[in-house]
Structure 1
Amino acid sequence: MDSTYFGVFPAFILLILWAVFIVRYRKDPRRLSNAILLFPLVLGSISLSINLLTSLVPGLGLVLVLVFLLAPLIYLVFAGALIHNGVVMWRREGPRMSNLLSLVAGLAVLGLPVLAFAILSINTWWAYAFAFVLFMSSSLAACLFSMLLLYAWVQAKFPSKGQGAAVVVLGARTIQGKVTPLLRGRLDRGISLYETASEPKPLLVPSGGQGGDEVEPEGVSMARYLQEQGIPEAQIMVEDQAKDTLQNLTFSDALVRQQKVEGRLWVVTSDYHALRAGFASRQLGLDARAFGGKTAAYYRPSAFLRECVAIVRDHKLVVGLLALPFAAVVIGALVLLLNYDQVR
């Protein structure tokens, strides 16, 4: 069989799968299954491109080998960046666990290989088994994180709008009735969507109840900021009861639909939270799309790691199915190790 067949056939399959992904994404980008499909598609496309380029560009194979040899250095730089971000978060936001996820992740990235080598030095079958389970668990976590990060980037770069009935801005903590920089990023993105929308202009719905340390509901503080930026009061509909994201979405949708307005909700939150907000709106059966407002760069790593944990929590069944191939490999390896130990 012609060797070119082994390049053309995978490319043909990839093109079909890319077409399937694009159709599914345009229909509804809020599906976790889209993220699951996209991840191997990107890996497959990169692999196919590398194979093609190495056959066309002399010396490229050597460059790729050098990059592969630098992988440990890249690994250390990645771990160091996470640890540095964790320290910055500690200093700026306080030592709450939710702010230290990047620090914990960086220490884990550095510590797990050391732990694995220490376990392997015991030189027993159960030590090898434990080290392999550790490796496969880490691989699953890395795949999940990479998959969600990639899909969050795709959603941010290729938003799906449609006709907007209302721009719903999800609330966040206010200080003495003033919006924080994080909340201002959400509101400014909401204003941008409102101003670029076609006529008739969508409603603007600042959504958020009153926390124990707040002087008024977040929705009220947000509405004041919107008016200060020149948004007509008649276009603002305050939602001031919600305590979490699900209530933000549910209560805001109810307010908007009472006005008999046609179109979908444009849900605006922080960029790191947009992916989960979109998933949540789909689970609630709402016609909505999520958009991310600008967030300080130092805040994103820990915040997105927190979102990944929450997405896994909210989609236990799907994540469990994704873990099955990893579990099958682990079980197979354990059986081989046990049989080898018995024979020895």
Structure 2
Amino acid sequence: MPLYFLTVMFVLAFVISFWREPRNLLNAFLFLFALGFLYLSALELAFAHSDAIYLLLLMVFLSVPFVIILVGVFLFLNGFIILKKEGKSLGNSLSLLLGFSLLSYIGLAFLGIQYAPFLARHAPFIYYCFIYMNFLFILFAGIFVAFFLYSILYHILPKKRNYDYIIIHGAGLLNGETVTPLLAKRIDKAIEAFHKAKNPSVKLIPSGGQGLDEKVSEAAAIARYLREKGIPDEVMILEDTSRTTYENLLFSKQLTDKGDNPYYLFVTNDYHVLRTSFYAKKLKMRGAGLGCQTASYYLPSAFIREYVAILQKLKRPLLILSALFLVFMLLSIL
């Protein structure tokens, strides 16, 4: 009964939190806990009523280490593809590094479990380091899974069409002046949303300043592309001073929000939608994110970047949790 009570509690907490504000980061963790407790409840019910279903559900749990290995191998190989197609850089190495880290962890975890009794007796320092390593892995992996699952959910949700402004987030320009294929997909998605909008007065906001290596602002390049697609200047509002995603939203809001609390649609790449929506919530902008497709080979690396950005937002609670676990572990030794 306590298990079913916790399941209902987390499911209701997620539904209520999501209904109030889909752009709340807390929803990702409530969603993960709701799914986890639903799985445990299903496992308990199956144990009592169906051996076949119980074994099937149990196999899902037992397959987790193999899934981690497969994900690690995939990310490791994908990292080489990204480096080949996009060039060598730290950002383009994220998939490779994470894949290598996952495979290394699985190897260390296997050795640690095998020699745990020996380490506990003869090398307690290494033994407790192994325990702490597992805690950190569970913590960071849990955040990754929560963010990943909620990103999928948020991405597939239907979007309202009664918006007042469509913000097109800028990206780097080809040769400093031409829209890249990645940015073109964002603009095409925004044009599609523009034509489907129920509000006849909807406006497009090309957003993005001019980088040091760019000849024109990203907003100007987006506006030129829009004109080539038949979009008239009178439905455009250029925001050409921003440098970051947060500034895209902030400066666009300053240009448009005159106290009438407009509704925005934020158009970016699919992997970037959720974090953009979190920023919009912080700025108290009503609206939702809309994502366009990203090249499949680049998607893992792009999502890892988003994950790293989320970790930055959670830096303080992560440090507190890590420190508390370390303190309790040290107290248990004494």
State whether TM-score is above 0.5. Answer: yes
- The answer to whether residue 181 in structure 2 is matched with residue 181 in structure 1 is yes
Structure 2 residue corresponding to 1:96, chosen from 89, 100, 104:
89
2:237 match: 237
- The answer to whether residue 273 in structure 2 is matched with residue 274 in structure 1 is yes
The gaps in structure 2 that reach 5 residues or longer are: none
- The answer to whether residue 103 in structure 2 is matched with residue 110 in structure 1 is yes
How big is each residue's C-alpha offset from its partner over 1:42-79, in whole Å with a ceiling of 9 and x where there is no partner? 11112222333454444233334555554443332111
| 8 A Cα contact 1:185 1:294, kept in partner | yes
Structure 1 residue corresponding to 2:53, chosen from 31, 36, 60:
60
1:157 match: 156
1:140 match: 139
Letter in 2 for 1:42: L
Give the fraction of aligned pairs with identical amino acids, expressed as a percent: 31
Take 1:67 and 1:147, find their aligned partners in 2: how far apart are those partners? Answer: 17
Displacement, 1:231?
2.1
2:28 match: 35
Displacement, 1:201?
3.7
Q: How many residue pairs were aligned?
A: 327
2:251 match: 251
| 3-state SS of 1:175 partner | coil
- The answer to whether residue 20 in structure 2 is matched with residue 21 in structure 1 is no
Letter in 1 for 2:103: L
Displacement, 1:110?
0.9
- The answer to whether residue 310 in structure 2 is matched with residue 317 in structure 1 is no
How big is each residue's C-alpha offset from its partner over 1:19-63, in whole Å with a ceiling of 9 and x where there is no partner? 332232232222112222221011111222233345444423333
Letter in 1 for 2:308: V
Take 1:142 and 1:69, find their aligned partners in 2: how far apart are those partners? Answer: 17
| 3-state SS of 1:211 partner | coil
1:204 match: 204
- The answer to whether residue 285 in structure 2 is matched with residue 307 in structure 1 is no
| 3-state SS of 2:297 partner | helix
Letter in 1 for 2:241: Q
How big is each residue's C-alpha offset from its partner over 1:83-126, in whole Å with a ceiling of 9 and x where there is no partner? 01111111111111111111101101111243453796764110
Structure 1 13/90 Cα, relative in aligned 2: closer, same or farther at 3 Å? same
Take 1:265 and 1:58, find their aligned partners in 2: how far apart are those partners? Answer: 51
| 8 A Cα contact 1:132 1:330, kept in partner | no
| 3-state SS of 2:291 partner | strand
Take 1:32 and 1:162, find their aligned partners in 2: how far apart are those partners? Answer: 24
Take 1:199 and 1:77, find their aligned partners in 2: how far apart are those partners? Answer: 47
Take 1:129 and 1:52, find their aligned partners in 2: how far apart are those partners? Answer: 36
Take 2:310 and 2:59, find their aligned partners in 1: how far apart are those partners? Answer: 36
Structure 1 162/315 Cα, relative in aligned 2: closer, same or farther at 3 Å? farther
**Normalising by structure 2, what TM-score?**
0.88
Take 1:49 and 1:245, find their aligned partners in 2: how far apart are those partners? Answer: 41
Superposition CA RMSD, Å: 2.5
| 3-state SS of 1:59 partner | helix
1:193 match: 193
1:3 match: none
| 8 A Cα contact 2:7 2:34, kept in partner | yes
Structure 1 70/243 Cα, relative in aligned 2: closer, same or farther at 3 Å? closer
1:297 match: 296
Take 1:27 and 1:64, find their aligned partners in 2: how far apart are those partners? Answer: 32
Displacement, 1:320?
4.4
Letter in 1 for 2:89: R
2:41 match: 48
| 8 A Cα contact 2:182 2:294, kept in partner | yes
2:213 match: 213
Letter in 2 for 1:36: F
Displacement, 1:12?
5.3
| 8 A Cα contact 2:10 2:33, kept in partner | no
**Normalising by structure 1, what TM-score?**
0.86
| 8 A Cα contact 2:263 2:286, kept in partner | yes
Letter in 2 for 1:309: V
How big is each residue's C-alpha offset from its partner over 1:200-224, in whole Å with a ceiling of 9 and x where there is no partner? 2411001011112222111111111
Structure 1 317/103 Cα, relative in aligned 2: closer, same or farther at 3 Å? same
Structure 1 residue corresponding to 2:73, chosen from 58, 80, 100:
80
Structure 1 280/262 Cα, relative in aligned 2: closer, same or farther at 3 Å? closer
